[in-house]
Amino acid sequence: MFSYDAKNERIYANMFMNREGRHWQQVDLLLFQKEVLFQFFPGNGTCVKFPLHTPFPSPLLPKNATFAGKVELGTTSIPHAALQINCWVAAQEGASYTVMTSTDRGCLPQWWATYDSEGWFSKSFFNITLGIIDPSVFTPPPQCLELL
């Protein structure tokens, strides 16, 4: 689950992680105006607080993004059954390159990946709903509030 609040510069991401055979749930709450990132781990109820000194990420493609092409996600055998996807590539500071895909209609993010010195990092976006359904996701859990 992911919520993006451009007006108040907040991001909430509830992720299920898998690395080297280990699985865990991690909730990231990025509060850019307060310059704080909370990582909450529901499995053991712990919270870690980090300083956040990066600018709020724009929902727009980077200015240096290059259009790589269009693809149809799904089938073309049935009319209107495929999702039109635009592919973009951009060089970014601190990363070798970033690959992004977005829907043709609405330019909604579909997939994002960055390759840097540590390897690949990717995110997939699906079941996107416009608007913030539950604004309470931007309230840190009690374990995190103790760190303020």
Averaged pLDDT in 10-residue chunks for the chain of 148 residues: 90 90 94 95 95 80 87 90 90 75 85 79 80 94 87
Angle at 7 (CA atoms; ends 11, 110), nearest 5 degrees: 50
Phi, psi of 128 (to 5 degrees): -75, 130
Whether the CB-CB separation of 49 and 28 falls below 8 Å is answered with no
Range of the domain at 41: 2-145
Phi, psi of 18 (to 5 degrees): -145, 115
Residue 94 has what pLDDT? Answer: 66
- Looking only at the bridges linking them, the beta strands covering 83-92 and 95-103 are antiparallel
Q: Amino acid identity, residue 10?
A: R
**Spatial separation of the C-alpha atoms in residues 71 and 86, rounded to whole Å:** 7
The CATH number linked to 138 is 2.50.20.30
Residue 115 has what pLDDT? Answer: 79
**Spatial separation of the C-alpha atoms in residues 126 and 82, rounded to whole Å:** 15
**Spatial separation of the C-alpha atoms in residues 120 and 126, rounded to whole Å:** 20
CB count within 10 Å of CB 76 equals 9
**Spatial separation of the C-alpha atoms in residues 28 and 35, rounded to whole Å:** 13
| Total number of domains constituting the chain | 1
